[in-house]
Amino acid sequence: MVEHFTGIEHVHTDKRAPWCAEWWRHPEVVARLWALWQARLQADEDSSVRLDAVSDWWLTHWDRHAAILLDPRTGPFRKCDRTLGHLHETHGAATPGIDIQWPPSDWRVAS
């Protein structure tokens, strides 16, 4: 999937990186690219019966994921820097995921 868009997708050239050269070190990016690739394979297969299948992939899948992946403020690469590198702001340490606490064993969903 990465090869698919490296030649056609363009990102801003400001210092804050909307794309990290070490994209594979970002689990969210890997998961999103895998989902995009699977959807693209399906679109290619469907294109023999649906002429808009590939166009639909761009609009429904790529555009939505790209908006998140390439967002320099909130995207997965927000702590990377084009010059200083992967996770520069956190000195290479990934930020913790969502904090979660499990409910007590006697907890039940209210009906």
Q: What pLDDT score does 56 carry?
A: 96
Residue 17 has pLDDT above 70, yes or no: no
What is the spatial distance between Cα 4 and Cα 108, in angstroms, rounded to a whole number?
Answer: 47
Residue 81 has pLDDT above 80, yes or no: no
More confident residue, 100 or 36: 36
pTM of the model: 0.70
Q: What pLDDT score does 78 carry?
A: 86
Instruction: Answer yes or no: are the C-beta atoms of 88 and 32 closer than 8 Å.
Output: no
67-80 pLDDT, tens digit each: 899 888 889 988 88
Which residues, in sequence order, are bridge partners of residue 81? 16, 85
Mean pLDDT of 78-93: 71
Query: Tokens 């939505």, residue?
Result: 64
More confident residue, 1 or 28: 28
